[in-house]
Amino acid sequence: MVKPQTYRYQNQNMKEIPWCSAVLTAANVIIFLVCQFTGDWLYIKGEFGAFYLIRSQEYYRLVTAMFLHADISHLVNNMILLYFGGEIVEKTIGSVRYLVLFFVSGICGNLLTAIYEVSTGMYFNSIGASGAVFGLIGGLLYLVITRKGYAAQISVRRMILMIALSLYSGFQSVRVNNAAHLGGLLSGFLITFILCHIGKNVGENHYHV
């Protein structure tokens, strides 16, 4: 009689693991380690820039650049936000919507980067998961506002302060793609709004927290 209860307890624990956040974090770490042995090859093949998009039509770079990081501090900063912030979002809206949010906001961040490059004439190559990570932050902001503290008991004021400090830090730093940050943040907020309304219409349990 004990074994079925133990199995159900273990199964419940498995469901509580934010699998998408964990897998995405692990993928970024593994790719970074591979880059340490392959030199610039993966960076050259996967980095993003408006030039690649317009002249070469290499659209895959909108995604591949999200899994490349310049150094260990760049990687660690993004992965902390990806895992712990992503965990809250994933458990609130569900894994499928979480993946949509991550990839679409990351792509939107890179697209805004391309628009910024073309409009200013300042062309550069960029890498990093920051656009997607800021998309998760934008999604979390929407959840905090609509759930009024139920999303990990985070206040709206604290959330806005965290976002403001993150953006300020980016604008005060050199070689930081702030266009990707803003693009990811704004699109993440909007995408989460859309995804939550889709969930509300369907009536899935993930939406009703």
Q: What is the pLDDT of residues 165-190, one digit of tens each?
A: 888 788 777 788 899 999 999 999 99
CATH number at residue 59: 1.20.1540.10
Q: What is the pLDDT of residues 91-115, one digit of tens each?
A: 989 999 999 999 999 999 999 999 9
Catalytic residues: 130, 181
Q: Please give the tally of structural domains in the chain.
A: 1
Answer yes or no: is 208 within a domain: no
Residue 115 pLDDT: 95
Q: 23 pLDDT exceeds 60?
A: yes
Q: 13 pLDDT exceeds 70?
A: no
Give percent above pLDDT 70 in the chain.
84
Q: What is the pLDDT of residues 110-126, one digit of tens each?
A: 999 999 999 998 889 99
Residue 43 pLDDT: 95
Answer yes or no: is 209 within a domain: no
What's the pTM value of the predicted model, to 2 decimals?
0.84
Residue 148 pLDDT: 57
d(CA 19, CA 15): 8
Residue 150 pLDDT: 56
- Domain boundaries, position 24: 2-202
